[in-house]
Structure 1
Amino acid sequence: MKKSLLALILGSSVALAACGGGNDAAKDTEEAVDEVEQNTEEAVDEATPKEDAGDTTTAAAGEEVYKQSCISCHGGNLEGGFGPALDKVGAKYSKDEILDILANGKGQMPAKVVEGENAEAVASWLAEKK
């Protein structure tokens, strides 16, 4: 997601820079590009879980990833739907077991729907659901 956002912003920046005609327009475009790049970096920093921020950031990040990647099958309130209910998944599986399911899939769930830091965040958040 970070890479997609950054690519979109940089692509827009290049397009804006190519449109410049005179020096004043070029300066305005450069300033706009700089502002877009700065805002992008800030957005990526805000979206990246901070290690020293503790469980609150991890939980918030896990919930956000769930909303983006899991809600369509497991429901808005973890109640299930196409996929099983996850409202008490932490009572059944540990964080490591949840990570294994995310990595390798289980039943109808495909493998690697969520990976990397996102998988860690979701697994931590779901492991708390007891």
Structure 2
Amino acid sequence: MKKALLAMLFGSALVLGACGGGNDSDKDKSATDTTTTENNKTDNTADNNKTDESTSNSTAKVDAEAVTQQKCISCHGNELQGAVGPDLRKIGSQLSEDQIKDVLKNGKGNMPAGLVEGDELDAVAKWLSEKK
């Protein structure tokens, strides 16, 4: 009886041990990315008087539709027709680009905040605001 109990305990420990973790590589990657970002910073103080063409160019380089397909369709549907989240096919007639940015940054209702950030946020907000 004791051997059977001990065997069950040992088997349970093995199963539970095999189920844990698994995302350690993401943590290691983010630590590496942070270090790389810190090492790649440059001083742009001489460029402060120039117009910010790099921001508009980088926003143009982001494929907003691809970002939307990757990060939005699970709730808004593959054609943005709505599912768990609302229909976005004509969202530009209801919300301005700034209002869309606010929803993307801060979330609204069941939508979590921060699903897209930076250039992706700007590009997706602009793209959605043009859907009228």
Pair 54,101 (structure 1): closer, same or farther in 2 beyond 3 Å: closer
Q: How does 1:1-130 map to 2 (within 5 A)?
A: 51-52=56-57, 57=61, 61-130=63-132
Per-residue CA deviation, residues 72-103 of structure 1 (Å, 9 max, x unaligned), is 10011110001000001000001110000000
Partners of 1:102 and 1:50 in 2: CA distance: 18
Partners of 2:59 and 2:113 in 1: CA distance: 28
Bigger helix fraction: 1
In structure 2, the gaps of 5 or more residues are 1-25, 30-53
CA shift for structure 1 position 110: 0.6
CA shift for structure 1 position 52: 4.6
Pair 50,82 (structure 1): closer, same or farther in 2 beyond 3 Å: same
**Aligned amino acid, residue 65 of structure 1:** V
Q: Which has the larger radius of gyration?
A: 2
Instruction: Give the percent of matched residue pairs that are identical in Structure 1 and Structure 2.
Output: 48
C-alpha root-mean-square deviation of aligned residues, in Å? 2.4
Per the normalisation by structure 1, the TM-score is 0.56
In structure 1, the gaps of 5 or more residues are 8-48
Per the normalisation by structure 2, the TM-score is 0.55
Partners of 2:58 and 2:117 in 1: CA distance: 21
Pair 117,81 (structure 1): closer, same or farther in 2 beyond 3 Å: same
